[in-house]
Structure formats: structure tokens, C-alpha cells
Structure 1
């Protein structure tokens, strides 16, 4: 089962301001989530109303939610490690 990937506004803006190499690395990692939405290295992030997970992508982190009813993954936030949890 493959899930569709959607992006909130913040991840779109973040990716728009990054160099092509960084964008490709981040997009490649996020694309793998469509086949395996909660990989072994994903961690649950506390403090969010809905279940939210994070994956590491080098110095960056991506926060996302999985909606199995609508068969999609919503990327909530992408940022550098020290800023993503603000």
C-alpha cells in the first residue's frame, strides 16, 4: 500500500529556500515514507495533539503525521535539528 504525501505551508517554504542537493536528499527520504510510513528510525514526538513522528535527514528533521483513513502522510514541519521543535 502506497500513501500520498502532502506538505503544509512551512515545509514548502523551507524547501524553497534550500539548495538543490539538500532538497533532493530531504525529498528522497520523505518519498520512502509512502511505502513504509513509520520506519525503524522514526520516533514519536510528544506535545502534539495528533500522533506526530520525526525522521532524521542529516542535520535536518522532518515532522509528519500518518492518516490511514485518507491514505496520506502530512509533512508538518522541516527544519534544522535545533529549530524544528520550537
Structure 2
């Protein structure tokens, strides 16, 4: 299986600044693991889009989109579970 390239939106880099310092390494490790397994067990496909998924890391969520044709994963949003789904 091919490795996917991971891109972070500029807004997600700002999102990480609001995350607890103790959680940031866990989040980065989980996102890096997506390059080998873009749909790990425990990931959830979000309704309303064919390519948007979510993974849980403690009380934080990472929302990402998978582009299989270009082998790209784009991290869309990172945040606490109570805030991440708000627009």
C-alpha cells in the first residue's frame, strides 16, 4: 500500500496552539500514522462528504479529508470534542 502525503491547513496549525501541550505529541503521532493507514479502526466517516473522516485522540478530534487519487490527506480541523464540529 502506498504512503499518503499529509498536509495541514494553515488554520489547523492555529488550532494546535489551543490544544493542551501534553496532547500535541499524541495528536501529531496519530496524524502521522494516517499516512500508512488513512482509515484506521476507530475512524469515523462524517456525513455530508464522501472523503471526510474523524479520529479521536482522548477528548480531542482530528477532522481530515482523504484524496485517494492523489494519495493526499488534508488535516481540516483539530480541537476539543465540544468545539470541533462548530462552524
- Same fold at TM > 0.5: yes
Paired residues of 2:19 and 2:80 also in contact (CA < 8 A):
no
Indicate the residue corresponding to 2:82 in structure 1: 82
1:13 lines up with 2:20 in the alignment: no
Unaligned 5+ segments in structure 2 are none
Aligned-partner Cα distance in 2 for 1:75–1:15: 11
Runs of 4+ aligned structure 1 residues displaced above 4 Å come to none
**For residues 2 and 26 of structure 1, do their structure 2 counterparts lie closer, same or farther at Cα, with a shift above 3 Å needed?**
same
Q: Which residue of 2 aligns with 1:52?
A: 52
Q: Please, which runs of 5 or more residues in structure 1 have no aligned partner?
A: none
CA distance in 1, matches of 2:42, 2:57: 11
Q: Give the drift of 1:9.
A: 2.1
Contact 2:38-2:73 at 8 Å conserved across structures: yes
Aligned Cα RMSD in Å? 1.4
- The answer to whether the 8 Å contact 1:65/1:73 transfers is yes
- Bigger helix share: 1
Superposed displacement of residue 19, structure 1: 4.6
The size of the alignment, in residue pairs, is 85
DSSP-derived class of the 1:78 partner: strand
Question: Alignment partner of 1:34: what SS?
Answer: coil
